[in-house]
Amino acid sequence: MFAGAAIARETERGGLTVDGLVAQAEAIDGLELPPSEDMEVARLYEVLLAFALGQGIRQELRADFEQARARATVIVPSGRLDTPLAAPLRDRLVALEQAGYEFLLFQAGREGLALDPTASLGAEVLHACQAAAVRASGKYLCFVHRADLDDRRLAALTDAIAREPEARLVIDRSVSGRDAVAIARPLFFECGGFGQAGGDAAFGWRFVEKLGVFGYRPRELAPSSDRPERMPSLEA
């Protein structure tokens, strides 16, 4: 899903279309080419197949987006040191679930040991997040650390991205240097997932450069105590 959607977007950005590639392939079929050109012909057919499959995946993702049964899927990687949810927070999250949110909480591990995603988002944690995204049924994907899970943060993220769809990504930074993000589900796959693993425990920066290439302008939420009606542009 990730590779197909990403290939389709990149091929389209290069000015190619399925019809155009089919026309090229049909034209080449009518030529007598030397054996040395066989690899190039095979490559053209590979691109055509990948592009066609990717376009189908993109169309399905966009159809799912329009008809999503959940407002947002909240994907929460937790670590070995995370404490159980406090009863008041659990009750508020249940209220969100009843209002159309879906929650996917999990632990990622290596060699039988649970990892600590609040320290660094390594390959195992991000792979588990991407696997959860495949299972998600929400219109938007929210990624948040278990330590930062808060109903008001989730509501602010989903309200902001619904209000400013041209942003495509909304980021809410925490004082710990981590963040929580909301991104449209189809675009998450078109970005190819998170991309770079490691570094710090923030999600947002892994998307910002790619979204800039796509022409989108991600937004960052102001501090919760002073959020304006319209959010400022994310600084590079």
Q: Give the model confidence (pLDDT) of 109-149 as tens digits.
A: 776 677 888 888 989 999 999 999 989 999 999 999 998 99
- Whether 30 and 105 map to the same domain: the answer is no
- Whether 8 and 76 map to the same domain: the answer is no
236 residues of the chain, pLDDT tens digit each:
555 556 666 666 666 665 666 666 666 655 565 666 666 666 666 666 666 666 666 667 676 767 778 899 999 998 877 788 899 999 999 999 999 999 999 988 776 677 888 888 989 999 999 999 989 999 999 999 998 999 999 999 999 999 988 888 999 998 778 999 999 988 898 888 887 888 899 999 999 888 887 888 899 998 654 444 433 333 33
- Whether 164 and 115 map to the same domain: the answer is yes
Q: Is 126 among the domain residues?
A: yes
pLDDT at 69: 82
Q: Is 205 among the domain residues?
A: yes
pLDDT at 228: 41
- Whether 32 and 131 map to the same domain: the answer is no
Residue 143 to residue 148: CA distance in whole angstroms = 10
- Whether 78 and 193 map to the same domain: the answer is yes
Query: To the nearest 10°, the Cα dihedral for 13, 19, 24, 28?
Result: 150
- Whether 179 and 91 map to the same domain: the answer is yes
Which residue, of 41, 65, 89, is where some domain finishes?
Answer: 65
* Number of domains comprising the chain: 2
- Whether 6 and 75 map to the same domain: the answer is no
- Whether 45 and 113 map to the same domain: the answer is no
- Whether 53 and 93 map to the same domain: the answer is no
CATH number for the domain including 156? 3.90.550.10
- Whether 74 and 60 map to the same domain: the answer is no
Entry pTM:
0.73
pLDDT at 3: 56
- Whether 107 and 177 map to the same domain: the answer is yes
Domain that holds residue 16: 2-65
